[in-house]
Structure 1
Amino acid sequence: MSRAKTGAGSTVNPDSIGIYYTVVVFLCAAVLAAGVASVEGLLHAAAWMVPDYLQWTLPVAVDVFLVGTALATLALRKRGARWAAFGVAVVTLVLVAFSSTANWLYVFESTVPGTPDHLYGPWLKAAMPILLLAAVEIIAALTSTRNNRENSPLNRAKRDLKQARAEVRALKKQMRVTPQEVTES
C-alpha cells in the first residue's frame, strides 16, 4: 500500500537564489505600493498646513526620512552602535506614528461619515507607513545578513576532522625517535 506524499518532510532551501529574488521583488513592490499610498495621504494632509508649491516637502520629510532612518538603524546595529541604533529606531517609530496619524486624519476628514470608506478607510490608510517600514526592514535584513554556514553540521564535522588531524600530526611528531636517541638509550 502506498502512502500519499504530502510534502510534510520537505523544506525550503534558504539559499535558493530564485526564492531570494522572488521575495526581494515582492517586498520591493510592497514598498512601492505602501510608499505611494502613504505619500498620497501626506500630500493631502500637507494641503492643510503649507502652500501648494511646498506640499511635496511633507512626504519627503516624513516617509523618505522614515525609510532612511530604518536603513540607518540596520547599519548602526551591524556596526555595534546599539545606543545610536536605538535612538534612530525611536525616531523611525515616531515618523511612522506621525505618518500613520496624518494618513488616518486625511481619510477620516475626506470621507462621508457612516460609510464603509469612513469606517475602514482611515485604518487601511494608516497601515501604509507601517507596511512601508516592515517591508524596508525585511528587505534590509534579507540583503545584509550573511549566511551563517559556519555552524552547519557538515562544517562542524570538517572543523573537528581538521583539528583531529592536527592533533594526530602533533602526536606523531612527539613519537618520532631519532637515531641518536636510540643509541643513547
Structure 2
Amino acid sequence: MIDKQKVDSFTQKLPTDSIKSIKPCKTLIKISPTRIFEGTLQLSFERAIKDNFSVDFTAFATYVTKNSLGGEYFSKQEFNSFSDIYGSYQPYTGEMMTGYGAVIQTRNYLLHRINPKYKAPFGLYASPYLMYRKITIFGMNYTNVYQDSAWVTKENEIKQNLDIGSAGVILGYSFPVFDVLSIDIHIGGVLRLSKYFRES
C-alpha cells in the first residue's frame, strides 16, 4: 500500500508546480537605454495575442551631433563619400546624423507548452526579425583645387542617405522585475543589407 502523505509530498516538489506564478500582463512598453548613448531613441510595444504568442513593434528615431548626447560615439565613426575630383572615396567629418526605422517581430513563447504558468509576454521565445532603417548623414570635407593660378582649399558639404534592411531569427528571454519592469535579453542571426543612395 502506498503512503498517501508521501505521494502528496512528492507531487508538491515537482518543478512544474514549484514555479512562482507570474502576474498576468498583456502589454509591454520598452525602451533601449544603450541606444540613447548612440543618439537614438528606441521604443517598443509588445502585445500578447495568445498565451504563447505576441507581436512586437519597435520604432527608431535618431538625431545626433558631435556635441549632443551620443556625440562621442558619433565622432568615432569613419565616413567616406565619393569624390568626382579624385575619382575615389574620400574621408569626411560627420557633423550631424538623423533618421528613423522600425522592427517587427512575432514572438512564439516556448515555455507555455511545458508549464501553462508561463504566458506571453514573459519567458523564453523565438521570433523572426525584420528591420528597416533610413539614416541621413551630414558632414564636411576639404579638397585642394587649382584655381586662378593658385591652389585653393575648398570646403565641401556632404550629404549621404543610407538605407539598411535586416532579416533573421532571434532567441530571447523576457522576465519581469518588481512587477513594473521587465528585462529582455536576446541573441540571434541576422542578414543585413545596406546601400548608400542619392549622395550629394
Higher relative contact order (CA 8 A, sep 6+): 1
Q: Which has the higher strand share?
A: 2
Larger radius of gyration: 1
Q: TM-score range by the shorter chain?
A: under 0.3
Q: Give the structure with the larger helix fraction.
A: 1
- Could you tell me the TM-score, scaled by structure 2's length? 0.21
